[in-house]
Amino acid sequence: MKEEEAVTLSTRILLPFSYSVGLTASRFFIELRDNKRIMGTKCPKCVRVLVPPRRYCGECLAEVDEWVDVGDKGTLVAYTIMHKASPNLPKKPPFAYGVIKLDGADTNIVHILGEVDLNKINPGMRVQAVFKDKREGSILDIDHFKPL
Ligand SMILES: [Zn+2]
């Protein structure tokens, strides 16, 4: 007699949905949308500036409620180049994602690198946020970061 066999199939679903991002992320997105300003929160205990802003510091668990403008310029820490198309990507490949440390922040964000030769991207290069003309309150209100 044959043992029971469990079959596993892999598939994909695209499931549109909406959710509340909470008060901290709402303020972050509203600043991007209305003022083209990238804001972080400063931990009163370890003094790190967190971007994206967080209500509680992940290192010391202190409540964080001081807001600071971290500026629109930063340094590229790392990057990867996307070659394969996917319906979830915000741009058509090939394009690059960068890990960026904004000048006024102690944490990094990941965003699209644009206006750049994909063969000439280097960690350490200076970058600046380029905002969309029409913004709607999301991280993609920053269209990309361009080299300085
Ligand atoms: Zn802290």
- Beta-sheet pairing, 108-113 with 39-42: unpaired
| Confidence category of residue 3, pLDDT binned at 50, 70, 90 | confident
0.75 cut: is pTM over it?
A: yes
CA of 43 to the centre of ligand 1 (A): 5
In a domain, 15, yes or no: no
In a domain, 125, yes or no: yes
CA of 110 to the centre of ligand 1 (A): 21
16 burial (CB, 10 Å; 0-12 / 13-18 / 19+) is: exposed
Residue 38 has pLDDT above 70, yes or no: yes
In a domain, 52, yes or no: yes
Please give the tally of structural domains in the chain. Answer: 1
Provide the residue range defining the domain that includes 96. 22-147
In a domain, 2, yes or no: no
Q: Could you read off the pLDDT of 45-69 as tens digits, one per residue?
A: 999 999 999 999 999 999 999 999 9
| Confidence category of residue 101, pLDDT binned at 50, 70, 90 | very high
CA of 57 to the centre of ligand 1 (A): 5
In a domain, 135, yes or no: yes
CA of 13 to the centre of ligand 1 (A): 38
User: Which residue's structure tokens are 């209500």?
Assistant: 55
